[in-house]
Amino acid sequence: MDTATVTHQFTVEDVEYLRHGTKPLLLRLYKPTGKGPFPAVVELHAGAWCHGDRLGERSRHEALAKGGLVVAALDFRQDKEGAYPRGVADINYAIRWVKAHAGELGTRPDLVAVSGQSSGGHLAMLAAMRPDDPRYTATALPAGSPAVDASVRCVAMSWPVINPLSRYKHALRAHDAGEKWAAEIIQNHLDFWGSEANMAEGSPVLLLERGEKPRLPPALWLQAPNDNMHDYKDPDGTFPGNEPARFVADYRKAGGTIDLVYFDAPLRFTSVQPTSKASLDAFARLVAFFHGHMPAAR
């Protein structure tokens, strides 16, 4: 039986996975019913590193759960509170938390992936590439927890901000040209990243082009055309194409496998048109991708 084509019932609950002082960080857990183990996906929301929460992509999360995937949709520190690298440290911790609690979640520690949209897609790839970075692993699991790391089996991104520095400069140029979307994006970059140096340091594109040797799990990039906020050309770079193609070329050159899939759909289509054919096709593609790289059978 093809597990990717079975429709599963699932339960939903909110779980506190981490606390900073008096502030709890929650994840919304979507757990398929039935005999597991099921592959698990840590889901990271969009919001230019400053907005959004675990509740914002319900249709996406339900589609993954119906497809037989445990979904842990995270809240994590954002904006100045979560300024780089603090927000990434929350995500790293959450991946380890899911592995440490795998049995009760209906999964296994070796069946964990990460996924996200826009800024969440960027964070998913960055966390996947650097699971052992000491800045990201700074928060230890409670004493007595299983010895687990934050490596993942695969990573899926929907229109990620794959190069924060080039997107920041792209927004500056757009602002100078009078485009209304740019002012808030510029401020979001500054609030989370603090400096262009941090944007460059945390750019999956630029870390590859600097010659770093990160982890390169199998990856999937879903993209809509005519997306000026994510699918643009960096005039400061030497690559002849847009940023998605640039990253794909860099990732493959470094030895990773990645597919870039365009859907004939509007910007953020799975969020704004979750029942459209394109969105349903994208959800099915995600389910198949995760099952393909995390077969649950021993």
Residue 48, pLDDT score: 97
Residue 1, pLDDT score: 38
What digits encode the pLDDT tens for the residues 22-53?
999 999 999 999 888 999 999 999 999 999 99
Tokens at 272, concatenated: 């704004």
Query: Does position 2 have pLDDT exceeding 60, yes or no?
Result: no
For every residue of 14-29, which 3-state class applies, written as one string?
EEEEEEECCEEEEEEE
What digits encode the pLDDT tens for the residues 62-114?
999 999 999 999 999 999 999 999 999 999 999 999 999 999 999 999 999 99
Q: Where are the chain's structural domains?
A: 3-164+203-293
**Superfamily holding 3-164+203-293:** Alpha/Beta hydrolase fold, catalytic domain (3.40.50.1820)
Largest Cα–Cα distance in the chain? 56
258-274 in b/e burial notation, b at 16+ Cβ within 10 A? Answer: bebeebebebbbbbeeb
φ, ψ dihedrals at 52, nearest 5°:
90, 170
Percentage of the chain exceeding pLDDT 90:
94
Average of per-residue pLDDT values in the chain: 96
Query: Does position 259 have pLDDT exceeding 80, yes or no?
Result: yes
Residue 297, pLDDT score: 52
Tokens at 283, concatenated: 């959800």
| Prediction pTM value | 0.96
